[in-house]
Structure 1
Amino acid sequence: MSAKDGVELDRTIRERVREYARAHGLKESVVFKEAVEEYLRLHGGETLYERARRAGLIGSLPDLPSDLSSNRAHMEGFGRE
């Protein structure tokens, strides 16, 4: 990776990318792009909670408190005989 890419990587990472690309017959830029995409897939975007809220699933059951899953008071005595 060069400075023209707008990303500065230390020598060790650059060499690992270069070796991986060579071993798999890929361009270094492809390896870097796929690595960034995978990172963003795992760490970027909405959380499962955010997706459920947007879909209207949070607090959507009738006759139940809207904070059932987040308020410990609702769990007092749950699972005890």
Structure 2
Amino acid sequence: MMNNTQTARYTATLPIYALDELKALASSGQIPSVNFAIRQAVDEYLKQAKKKQYDELMKEAAKDEEFIKRTMSCADDFSYADSEVQGEW
């Protein structure tokens, strides 16, 4: 999570038990604050939603013959450069 991002106030409704548990975690020092935990959860949710969206787009792209041709052409173009790297980079 970025600390320098712009923020806006927004009212949301949470189950009482979840808010109570978040407050307890904040009181015991396990999390910096309730707000921090909610922001972290939203960030994680957005990452997962964007990954799911990307995966769906890639599934659609895999059905596109022109996309496959371009992808394979790029793979061929870089196959020599990729072979120069030993292991992970």
Aligned counterpart, 1:33: 39
Identical columns (%):
12
- Please give the alpha-carbon distance, in whole angstroms, between the structure 2 residues aligned to 1:57 and 1:22: 52
Aligned counterpart, 1:18: 23
Larger Rg: 1
Aligned counterpart, 2:54: 47
Q: Secondary structure at the match of 1:47?
A: helix
- Please give the alpha-carbon distance, in whole angstroms, between the structure 1 residues aligned to 2:32 and 2:63: 43
Residue 12 of structure 2 aligns with an amino acid whose one-letter code is: V
TM-score by length of 2: 0.47
Structure 1, unaligned runs of 5 or more: 63-81
Aligned counterpart, 1:8: 13
Label 1:48 to 1:22 Cα distance change in 2 as closer, same or farther (>3 A).
same
The one of the two structures with greater contact order (alpha-carbon pairs below 8 A, sep at least 6) is 2
Per-residue deviation, residues 12-32 of structure 1 (Å, max 9, x unmatched): 010111122233240110111
TM-score by length of 1: 0.50
Label 1:5 to 1:21 Cα distance change in 2 as closer, same or farther (>3 A).
farther
Structure 2, unaligned runs of 5 or more: 1-8, 71-89
Which has a greater percent of helix? 2
Question: How far apart are residue 34 of structure 1 and its match?
Answer: 0.2
